Amino acid sequence: MQQSNDRILKTEYSEVMQKNYIDYAMSVIISRALPDVRDGLKPVQRRVLYDMYELGVRYDRPHRKSARIVGDTMGKYHPHGDSSIYDALVVMTQDFKKGIPLVDGHGNFGNIEGDGAAAMRYTEARLARISQEGLLADLDKDVVDFMPNFDETEKEPSVLPARFPNLLVNGSEGIAVGMATKIPPHNVGEVIDATIAYIKDESITTAGLMKYVKGPDFPTGGIVTNKDELLQIYESGSGKVKIRGRVTTENAKGGHVLLVINEIPYTMIGAGISKFLADVAALAESRKTTDVVDISNQSSKEGIRIVIELKKDADVENFTNMLYKKTKLEDTFGINMLAIADGRPETMGLKDIIKHNVAFQFELNRRKYTNLLAKEREKKEVQEGLIKACNVIDLIIEILRGSKDRPQAKACLVEGVTEGINFKSKESKIMAGMLHFTERQADAILELRLYRLIGLEIEALNREYEQTTANIYRYEDILDRRESMAQVIIDDLQAMKKTYAVPRKTSIENAEEVVYEEKKMEEMDVIFLMDRFGYCKTIDQATLDRNREAVESENAWIVECKNTGKLCAFTNKGNLHTIKVADLPHGRFRDKGIPIDNVSNYSSAQEDIICVLPQAEVSTLRLLFVTKQAMIKYCTGDEFDVAKRMVAATKLADDDEVVKVDILYDQSYVAMFTHKGYLLKIDALEVPMKKKAAVGVRGMKLEKDDYVEMAVVGSTHVERNVVEFHEKKIDLALIRAQKRDAKGTKLK
């Protein structure tokens, strides 16, 4: 039997979990969710762009199927599923999310209103020019380190050689473990100017840089309204930017005014536009404003155009301020400039990001020109050998013709070895022995083509040599002097600005806080209606009078109330839900209304409403509670004068629920009917007062498996009070009242 050498290591479980969780968290932070400050890209974005570069899907070549790009990226570099890769590809094509799109998409890649992109099998893509020239250029010059891919069958760059601060230009959003990043896009021309200013003066302050970078430049335009707070945000790397949509007015027929929104807050991208339209419609329906005539979304490929038609006498300024206050037309963008710097996550200000990028530019150029210098020196060595060979070409031809093989000829050229070579004269042998070409020069001479001996070709060789010498001098100067390298970087940045700079879209200003004077609602009596499906609305008294029969037959609840007040809805689960009457649509009887779930915390799937009363009346009344298990009490109405949308109206035992909530008067009685057919009538004085947090007292003795099915409150001044229970009609006025906690009378 073979003895196992395995050992069992005992350790604390919590320590193992902590270590593994930290490893997992760092993996997500470094390898998935956060961008690198040097190229501004997350790993999935970097891999998509590099794969497109490797596939040859360049900006000056035809588009290729997105599915091909996604599949190749997943198979070679990013084995985390095709959806994450395609999502990254889609976002890099969207000009409404990125300052400058890094991918040129062909097909349906979604739109600003939130419609998703078509499946990857339908869309096509290729690199955008800025990606090829600004992020992927010089990859062949050993400017960045390459690392093995996930299965060590390929090599991928650890970072792309970005020639501009892409992190600022395109921004980034990502959620890691315990941290998140949210960097807004900026204007590429301004960012390049700020980078050049930093290169020229490393002691420049954040305020100095902000003479160039005015603030975020969102693709959707809009207005940043807190200009004075931007300096602190860009120094610390975090803060909140307030943004507004841009509103203009146009005149329409009939003297109406058109409010036109053609620039929206960046945060409104996607479902935010439809939400904004719904919010404006809700303001009109709830009569918060009566100025709206029509709302239309006329947006197209040319841009955003949301049109709100107002009445003739509308206060346009006040209505616009209402939109800023009540909708997402004014919003905040939370900035948290977190990125990977030197292998760890770091929150950086504007200057820190530019500082890291400039340091990266110097490193890229150092490696680039070191590589170019080595190649030019090799070229110079070869050129010097060819020029020298042209001067003694007759001797070299004599050596080649007299040699038995290539090694013999090369030995003569490099070391002057003449043994075994047939020369025409003794002088030629002596001169051959004096030759001392380098190995590289000797190889070039042996591969020299005869046409290079033409006079013009020799002149061209001399010109190439002069150019190579000049290049070597220039490269050495760039590598030896920081000023020279800085000028090279500045020249590259200025060339990029000339090609890619675009006018700023977002205005930066100090706007005053909007003042919206909400018109006071004129108080009036209304009728609250709720049908059996939970849809509710309000109508006026005249509408009720005209449609009384239909109203009573079609609605479960009909309550008179004030349009400025609240309603109290009590449920079988012992909860009280308050509803603002002003939140309900007011109009015609045949209007559908809105679900009560939308204006309260009530959920029709979990509980049933058993009583609806105006809150103003409730506060002056006594409310009776009867439960299924025959618990009974009353509470004073002031306990339900609450501001919360939901509170517990009474305490219930397990498996109990409220059967009846009603108004309790002094000259009244309570009748309880059980499932097994028992009836107990007690005087109102028998019902004790309890707080809403109390369960109450037992109102009736129940047999096993019996429960209260119905309860009725009646007045002792009424001669007849006929109710129907289990298809039997009972006149409660004829029933004798008993003491509380009695068994009651069995109904025949």
More confident of the two residues 398 and 661: 661
By the 8 A CB rule, do 421 and 403 touch? yes
User: What pLDDT is stored for residue 64 in this prediction?
Assistant: 96
Backbone phi, psi, residue 161, to 5°: -75, 70
Q: Among residues of the chain, what percentage have pLDDT more than 70?
A: 96
Start-to-end CA distance of the chain, whole Å, equals 88
DSSP 526: E
By the 8 A CB rule, do 593 and 529 touch? yes
**Joined tokens for residue 491:** 């020249």
pLDDT of 109 strictly over 70 = yes
Which domains does the chain possess?
A: 41-161 (3.90.199.10), 246-328 (3.30.1360.40), 360-499 (1.10.268.10), 525-746 (2.120.10.90)
Residue 346's DSSP bridge partners are 339
More confident of the two residues 548 and 430: 548
User: What pLDDT is stored for residue 4 in this prediction?
Assistant: 53
Region of residue 393 (phi > 0: left; psi between -120 and 50: alpha; otherwise: beta): alpha
User: What pLDDT is stored for residue 495 in this prediction?
Assistant: 95
Residue 295's DSSP bridge partners are 308
Residue 531's DSSP bridge partners are 555
- Hey, is 490 helix, strand or coil? helix
Burial class (CB in 10 A: 0-12, 13-18, 19+), 477: middle
**Joined tokens for residue 332:** 């905040």
140-169 per-position pLDDT tens digit: 889 999 999 989 999 999 999 999 999 999
**Joined tokens for residue 590:** 């045949």
Q: Which residues contact 672 (CB under 8 A, 6 or more apart)?
A: 626, 630, 632, 679, 680, 681, 682, 699, 700, 708, 710, 711, 744
d(CA 528, CA 559): 5
Q: What is the DSSP string of 214-268?
A: -S---TT--EE-BGGGHHHHHHHTEEEEEEE-EEEEEE-GGG-EEEEEEE--GGG
Residue 742's DSSP bridge partners are 700
Backbone phi, psi, residue 266, to 5°: -60, -30
Q: Which residues are catalytic?
A: 122
305-361 per-position pLDDT tens digit: 999 999 888 888 888 999 998 899 999 999 999 999 988 889 999 999 999 999 999
275-305 per-position pLDDT tens digit: 899 889 888 877 778 888 899 999 888 889 9
Q: What is the DSSP string of 151-216?
A: TSSSEEESS---SS-HHHHH-EEEE-SS-EEEE----HHHHHHHHHHHHH-TT--HHHHTTT--S-
By the 8 A CB rule, do 227 and 510 touch? yes
By the 8 A CB rule, do 583 and 599 touch? yes
User: What pLDDT is stored for residue 145 in this prediction?
Assistant: 93
Query: In angstroms, what CA-CA distances link 334 with 210, 216, 346?
Result: 19, 12, 17
Among all chains, which residue has been given the structure tokens 């004798």?
A: 736
Burial class (CB in 10 A: 0-12, 13-18, 19+), 641: middle
User: What pLDDT is stored for residue 1 in this prediction?
Assistant: 44
Region of residue 11 (phi > 0: left; psi between -120 and 50: alpha; otherwise: beta): beta
**Beta strand 507-508 with 223-224: parallel, antiparallel or unpaired?**
parallel
Instruction: Find the Cα–Cα–Cα–Cα dihedral 235, 236, 242, 243, rounded to 10°.
Output: 60
d(CA 699, CA 631): 6
d(CA 648, CA 518): 32
Q: Which residues contact 84 (CB under 8 A, 6 or more apart)?
A: 44, 78
Please, where are the H alpha helices in 558-618? 615-618
By the 8 A CB rule, do 540 and 527 touch? yes
User: What pLDDT is stored for residue 313 in this prediction?
Assistant: 82
More confident of the two residues 87 and 421: 87
d(CA 52, CA 62): 12
By the 8 A CB rule, do 233 and 293 touch? no
Residue 303's DSSP bridge partners are 300
588-615 per-position pLDDT tens digit: 888 888 889 888 888 888 899 999 999 8
User: What pLDDT is stored for residue 409 in this prediction?
Assistant: 86
Backbone phi, psi, residue 111, to 5°: -145, 175
DSSP 736: P
Closest CA to 131 of 89, 96, 173: 89
d(CA 713, CA 663): 8
**Joined tokens for residue 561:** 């109330």
More confident of the two residues 417 and 136: 136
d(CA 85, CA 76): 12
Cα angle 262-268-271, degrees, rounded to a multiple of 5: 110
Q: From the CB of residue 356, how many other CB atoms can be counted at a distance below 10 Å?
A: 21
